[in-house]
Amino acid sequence: MSSVSNVALQANVLVLNRLYMAVQVISVRRALGMLYKGDAEVVHVQEEGYFESFTFDRWLERSLERMGCWEPEDDVLRSVRFELEAPRIIRLMSFDKLPRQRIKFNRRNLFARDGNRCQYCGKKYAPHELSMDHVVPRSRGGPATWENIVTACLRCNVRKGGRTPQGAGMPLAKQPERPRTSPLLSTRLSSRKYHSWKVFLENSSWSIDLT
Ligand SMILES: [Zn+2]
């Protein structure tokens, strides 16, 4: 697939287990590998609210029929010989594992919870300009939990040093909490591209793991 448009390969795909429960979000590149091997099928949600399943071959056929008639929100993989619509949802054929029960604590989820905003100066930054800051410093026994770690820009992090927000005179924008729904997923759902995911996320969105 080296000649295929890279942007579409990096779009996101919601993964359902065999029981149609959302378990993960992966890249189109990984999803295509699973589809090609027959480990998964495409689940396509129609505008009218029902969905249809496609094997890889049938999905390819459908894309050939639609060639040239794409909607603006479609991601299309293009090579010299074919165009393939990037699937938005796939279902694993032999996977009964249940979704995770807790949202993983990591940089990406933390920055997403805080909207990529430094919780001290309130400004928005690119992820590489952000850091994780212990509200109550580690040196004073502050734990590494959702409730004690916030997003901070590098400048504010250095300025605050080993002090509490009060000690540094740097009040927090808001009280940090454990998110109830997956923060990255909420970001994705706001995009028109991923509207079709909602059908499968109404009851389980908070437990999805994003990779
Ligand atoms: Zn800042």
Q: What pLDDT band is residue 172 in, cutting at 50, 70 and 90?
A: very high
Check residues 140 and 6 and name the one with the higher pLDDT: 140
Separation of CA 161 and ligand 1 centre (Å):
13
pLDDT, position 210:
53
Distance 125 CA to ligand 1 centre (A): 9
State in Å: Cα 166 to ligand 1 middle: 15
pLDDT at residue 110 tops 80:
yes
Q: Residue 129 pLDDT more than 90?
A: yes
Cα of 173 to ligand 1 centre, how many Å?
A: 11
pLDDT attached to residue 2: 42
Residue at token pair 């933390």? 110
| Mean of pLDDT values over 43-54 | 87
State the SS3 of 171-198.
Answer: CCCCCCCCCCCCHHHHHHHCCHHHHHHH
Q: Which of 58-62, 95-99, 120-124, 145-149 has the lowest mean pLDDT?
A: 95-99
Question: What is the mean pLDDT of the segment spanning 163-173?
Answer: 97
How many Å lie between the centroid of ligand 1 and the Cα of residue 172?
A: 10
- Count of CB atoms situated within 10 Å of the CB of 62: 15
Rounded to the nearest whole angstrom, what is the distance from the C-alpha of residue 131 to the centroid of ligand 1?
10
Q: What is the pLDDT of residues 69-90, one digit of tens each?
A: 888 888 998 887 788 999 999 9
Can you tell me which residue has the tokens 């999805």? 208
For CATH 1.10.30.50, the residue range(s) in the chain are: 107-168
Report the pLDDT value the prediction gives residue 100, as an integer from 0 to 100. Answer: 66
10 pLDDT above the threshold of 90: no
* pLDDT for 73: 84
Return the pLDDT at 206. Answer: 46
* pLDDT-derived band at 188, boundaries 50, 70, 90: confident
On the CB side of 27, CA atoms within 13 Å amount to: 10
CA of 208 to the centre of ligand 1 (A): 30
Q: Separation of 170 CA from ligand 1 center, angstroms? A: 10
Distance between CA atoms of residues 78 and 144, nearest Å? 45
Distance 117 CA to ligand 1 centre (A): 8
- Give the rounded percent of residues in the chain with a pLDDT score beyond 90: 54
Contact 45, 196 (CB under 8 A): yes
Full strand arrangement of the beta sheet holding 51-54:
51-54, 40-45, 89-92, 12-16, 22-27, 209-210
Ligand 1 center to residue 150 CA distance, Å? 11
pTM of the model: 0.66
For residues 98-126, give the mean pLDDT: 88
pLDDT at 200: 82
Q: What is the 134 CA–ligand 1 centroid distance (Å)?
A: 14
pLDDT at 89: 96
For residue 132, the CA-to-ligand 1 centroid distance in Å is 11
How many residues are there in the chain?
Answer: 211
CB-CB contact of 31 with 50 (8 Å) = no
Gap from CA of 114 to ligand 1 centroid (Å):
12
* Extended beta strands in the chain, E state: 12-16, 22-27, 40-45, 51-54, 76-78, 83-85, 89-92, 130-134, 149-153, 209-210
Cα separation values, 105 from 71, 153, 180, 184, Å: 36, 19, 12, 12
Per the listing, tokens 């060639």 go with 67
Spacing, Cα 154 to ligand 1 middle (Å) = 7
pLDDT digits (tens, 9 = 90+) for 51-73: 999 999 999 999 999 888 888 88
Predicted local confidence at residue 1, as pLDDT: 43
Is the separation of the CB atoms in 206 and 99 below 8 Å?
no
Q: What is 107-168's CATH number, 1.10.1240.10, 3.40.190.10, 3.30.40.10, 1.10.30.50?
A: 1.10.30.50
Q: In the predicted model, is pLDDT for residue 131 greater than 90?
A: yes
